[in-house]
Amino acid sequence: MKQIICCAVLSIFLAVAVTPAGALADSRAHHAAIKVCKQNYKNAVRGAKYLKSRQRKERIEQARREREECERLAPR
């Protein structure tokens, strides 16, 4: 029992010690890219606020598509 616990703790420690260095930088870049995508979408929706009904719907739909594409292209 003690050997199993020791092996599990050591393997978890090694996994945690090795992983964050590369993953942390990627997640920061991803988070920053997603933040920009959301801000662009929010600005587009605010700009569409003053358009007429049909144009507003089209502009919001276009902004939604652009946001989805931006999120797809964001670094992982």
Write the pLDDT tens digit of every residue in 15-64.
Answer: 766 665 556 566 888 999 999 999 999 999 999 999 999 999 999 999 99
Number of domains present in the structure of the chain: 1
- Residue 11 placed within a domain: no
- Residue 30 placed within a domain: yes
- Residue 33 placed within a domain: yes
- Residue 65 placed within a domain: yes
Task: Report the pLDDT value the prediction gives residue 23, as an integer from 0 to 100.
Answer: 60
What Cα–Cα distance (Å) separates residue 63 from each residue in 32, 35, 50, 67, 75?
19, 15, 15, 6, 20
Q: Which residue has the tokens 């902004």?
A: 63
pLDDT at 70 over 80: yes
pTM of the complete model: 0.64
- Residue 67 placed within a domain: yes
- Residue 76 placed within a domain: yes
- Residue 16 placed within a domain: no
Task: Report the pLDDT value the prediction gives residue 25, as an integer from 0 to 100.
Answer: 61
Task: Report the pLDDT value the prediction gives residue 20, as an integer from 0 to 100.
Answer: 57
CA end-to-end span of the chain: 39
What Cα–Cα distance (Å) separates residue 35 from each residue in 19, 31, 42, 50, 62?
24, 6, 11, 24, 18
Domain of 57, in residue numbers: 25-76
- Residue 59 placed within a domain: yes
